[in-house]
Amino acid sequence: MSNIFSGGSHDLDLSNGATAVFIDVLMLAVSDLASEDWDFRFAALLTLQDQNVMGRGAVGFDLAEFDWGATERERARAKDFVLRATALAASGHRWSELGYHPPRVHDYLHRFTTMVESCTPPADSSAARGFPGPDEAAMASCVRHRVLSALPLWDGCFLCNRPHC
């Protein structure tokens, strides 16, 4: 089973294990960069990619189904946020906290960057499906790990919830 992250003509088809790694390193970066409302909604989307909660092989998202924002300025800023978070993740940000060495994750992040860069956020958000609304934003930060989590669905962050922890 695998999970598909797509945008435009690009696809990132990741195994369950690769998905977990990809989302973990992104979450560590997003947790430290998030500052505006949209960022916390994107963080909530990342929490929804936790296969320990959602089921294995049952996650993934499509950039075309994001609610990128109502104005061109908002959309550009949201896209820039995703790119900055991905770049920070690729720099190895907080990888030491994972408790494992993330294999091949540079490749996933590089391919994701290409996907986001080539994506033109749609002005019409009526196609947005499954993108967390303002009320669902991941505003809670786990005290122990300083990682965002979306309450009340999750009682802690992904580091709290991982089975081998």
Distance of alpha carbon 61 from alpha carbon 95, whole angstroms: 23
In three-state secondary structure terms, 133 is coil
Q: Is 23 in the site for Zn ion (CB under 5 A)?
A: no
Distance of alpha carbon 65 from alpha carbon 80, whole angstroms: 17
Task: Phi first, then psi: give them for residue 4, nearest 5 degrees.
Answer: -115, 125
Closest listed residue to residue 150, CA positions, set 127, 133, 129? 133
Q: Is 157 in the site for Zn ion (CB under 5 A)?
A: yes
Nearer to Zn ion, 27 or 119 (CB): 27
Nearer to Zn ion, 83 or 160 (CB): 160
Number of residues that bind Zn ion (CB under 5 A): 7
Chain residue at closest Cβ approach to Zn ion:
142
Q: Is 142 in the site for Zn ion (CB under 5 A)?
A: yes
Nearer to Zn ion, 10 or 162 (CB): 162
Binding interface with Zn ion (CB under 5 A): 142, 144-145, 156-157, 159-160
